[in-house]
Amino acid sequence: MEDSLRFLAGVVFGGVALYKLTSQKDELLDDQYQSNVQYKEPSYQPKKAVKAVKVVEEPKAVVEESVEEKKEVVEPIAVSKVQSIPSYEPSWASKKEPKLRAHISSGGDVQVAKVSIPESQPEAVSITSSVTSVTTEDSVQPATKSQRVDYTPSWMSSKDAKVSLEDVQETITQAPRFAKTHLKAYSGKIQCGNASISRVAYSLSDTVFVYPLNSEVHFGSPAVAKSAAKTLNSFGRVTDVKVMETRAGAGSCVVGSLLGGSKTSVLASSDALALMTPTIFSLSAQNLPVVFHVNATKVNKENLTVTDDYSNIMKVRESGLTILASSSAQEIADFSVIAHVVAHETSSPLLHCFDGTRGLTELHKIHVPSLTTASDVVEVENTPMATHGLKSAATVDRPYIACAVQDAMDKLTETLGTPYKLFSYTGPDHPDSVVVAMGNTASIIEHAVKNSHSVGVIKVHLLRPWSSHHFLSALPKSVRKVCVIDQSGVDLHPLFLDVASALHSESALQLQSLPLLIGTKCIVGAAGFDMEMAHTVISNITSVRPQPNLVVKSQISSESRRDLMYANDVIVWSKGNAHAVEASKAIALELGNDQGVDVQYFSSHDPYSETHKSELRMSDSSKHLVEGLGVKSADVVVAPTIDLDVISSVNCGGKLIVTSSSDDVLQIPESLNSQITRNGITVYTLRADFEKECESAWASVGAAVVLANASAQARVTAAFRQAGKSLLNRYVENAHALLAKGHLNSTHSSFSNDFEVASWSSTKKVTTPVLNDATAIGESFAPRFECKVEEEEEKEDVVAVVPRHQFAWNMIFRESYEATEVVRPSHHDVHIATITKNERLTPGDYSRNIFHMEFDISDTPIKYQIGDALGVFGHNDEDQVEKFIEEYGLDGDAFVAVPARGAMAKNKVEYVTVRNALVQHLDLFGRPSKKFYVALAQHAKSRYQYLRLMHIGTDDAESFKLGIHETVTYAELFLQYNTAKPSVEEMIAMIPEIKPRHYSISSSMKVCPRSVHLLVVAVDWETPLGKNRTGQCTRYLKNLVPGQKVTVDIQTSVLRLPPNPKQPIVMAGLGTGMAPFRAFIQERMWQKESGIDVGPCVLYFGARHKAQEWLYGEELEKYAEKGLVKLGLAWSRDQAHKVYIQHKITEDGPLLKKYLGEDGGYFYLCGPTWPVPDVRDAIAKGLTPEKVKDGVVDVEAVEELKDEGRYILEVY
Cα dihedral 1023→1029→1030→1031 (10° resolution):
-60
| Sign of CA pseudo-dihedral 509, 513, 519, 524 | negative
Distance CA 213, CA 219 (A): 9
CA 1155 from centre of chain: 57
Mean pLDDT of 784-793: 53
The one-character DSSP state at 918 is I
Least confident residue range of 301-315, 584-598, 918-932, 1035-1049: 301-315
3-state secondary structure 973-1042: HHHHCCCCCCCHHHHHHHCCECCCEEEEECCCCCCCCCEEEEEEECCEEECCCCCEEECHHHHHHHCCCC
Query: What pLDDT is stored for residue 759 in this prediction?
Result: 41
pLDDT band at residue 396 under the 50/70/90 scheme: low
Distance CA 503, CA 511 (A): 9
pTM score: 0.53
Residue 531 has pLDDT above 90, yes or no: no
Backbone phi and psi for residue 603, each to the nearest 5 degrees, phi listed first: -125, 135
Query: What pLDDT is stored for residue 687 in this prediction?
Result: 59
pLDDT band at residue 877 under the 50/70/90 scheme: very high
Q: Which helix (H) or strand (E) holds 485?
A: strand 481-486
Query: What pLDDT is stored for residue 1006 in this prediction?
Result: 92
Q: CA angle 678-680-682, nearest 5°? A: 130
Give pLDDT tens digits for 752-763. Answer: 345 455 443 333
Query: What pLDDT is stored for residue 441 in this prediction?
Result: 87
Mean pLDDT of 531-556: 84
Query: What pLDDT is stored for residue 1028 in this prediction?
Result: 84
Distance CA 868, CA 1000 (A): 6
Mean pLDDT of 703-722: 83
Neighbours of 718 (CB within 10 A): 17
Mean pLDDT of 71-87: 35
Distance CA 641, CA 643 (A): 7
Give percent of the chain above pLDDT 90. 23
Query: What pLDDT is stored for residue 208 in this prediction?
Result: 92
* pLDDT, greater one: 739 or 1003: 1003
Beta strand 264-269 with 207-211 is parallel
Residue 180 has pLDDT above 50, yes or no: no
Distance CA 890, CA 881 (A): 11
DSSP 74-116: --PPP-EEEE-------GGGSSS----EEEEEETTEEEEEEPP
Beta strand 895-899 with 1125-1131 is unpaired
Distance CA 243, CA 20 (A): 47
Give percent of the chain above pLDDT 70. 72
pLDDT band at residue 113 under the 50/70/90 scheme: very low
Distance CA 541, CA 520 (A): 10
At position 1075, the amino acid (one-letter code) is A
Beta strand 55-57 with 908-913 is parallel
Least confident residue range of 163-167, 657-661, 1032-1036: 163-167
Residue 116 has pLDDT above 80, yes or no: no
* pLDDT, greater one: 695 or 145: 695
* pLDDT, greater one: 712 or 880: 880
For the chain, the first-to-last Cα distance in angstroms comes to 81
Residue 307 has pLDDT above 70, yes or no: yes
Q: Which helix (H) or strand (E) holds 474?
A: helix 468-474
Strand partners, 425: 458
What letters, b where the CB count within 10 A reaches 16 and e where it falls short, cover 1164-1173? bbbbeeebee
Give pLDDT tens digits for 154-163. Answer: 333 334 444 4
Half-sphere exposure of 1041 (CA within 13 A, CB side): 0
Residue 744 has pLDDT above 80, yes or no: no
| Sign of CA pseudo-dihedral 674, 676, 682, 688 | negative
pLDDT band at residue 218 under the 50/70/90 scheme: confident
How does the average pLDDT of the chain come out, rounded? 75
Query: What pLDDT is stored for residue 904 in this prediction?
Result: 66
* pLDDT, greater one: 776 or 566: 566
Mean pLDDT of 1129-1158: 90
Beta strand 650-658 with 682-686 is parallel
Q: Which helix (H) or strand (E) holds 899?
A: strand 895-899
Are the C-beta atoms of residues 91 and 513 closer than 8 Å to each other?
no
Distance CA 100, CA 481 (A): 8
Are the C-beta atoms of residues 1000 and 1166 closer than 8 Å to each other?
yes
What letters, b where the CB count within 10 A reaches 16 and e where it falls short, cover 1018-1031? bbeeeeeeeeeebb
Residue 386 has pLDDT above 70, yes or no: no
Residue 358 has pLDDT above 50, yes or no: yes
pLDDT band at residue 850 under the 50/70/90 scheme: very high
Query: What pLDDT is stored for residue 661 in this prediction?
Result: 60
Nearest to 530 by CA among 453, 628, 603: 628
Distance CA 681, CA 653 (A): 5
Beta strand 568-575 with 597-606 is unpaired
Distance CA 686, CA 1163 (A): 83
Total residue length of the chain: 1212
Distance CA 146, CA 139 (A): 19
At position 701, the amino acid (one-letter code) is V
Residue 184 has pLDDT above 90, yes or no: no
Least confident residue range of 403-417, 740-754, 853-867, 1074-1088: 740-754
Distance CA 294, CA 209 (A): 12
| Sign of CA pseudo-dihedral 192, 194, 197, 199 | negative
Distance CA 522, CA 437 (A): 10
Distant-in-sequence, close-in-space partners of 622: CB < 8 Å, separation ≥ 6:
185
Nearest to 937 by CA among 911, 971, 973: 973
Tell me if residue 520 falls in helix, strand or coil.
strand
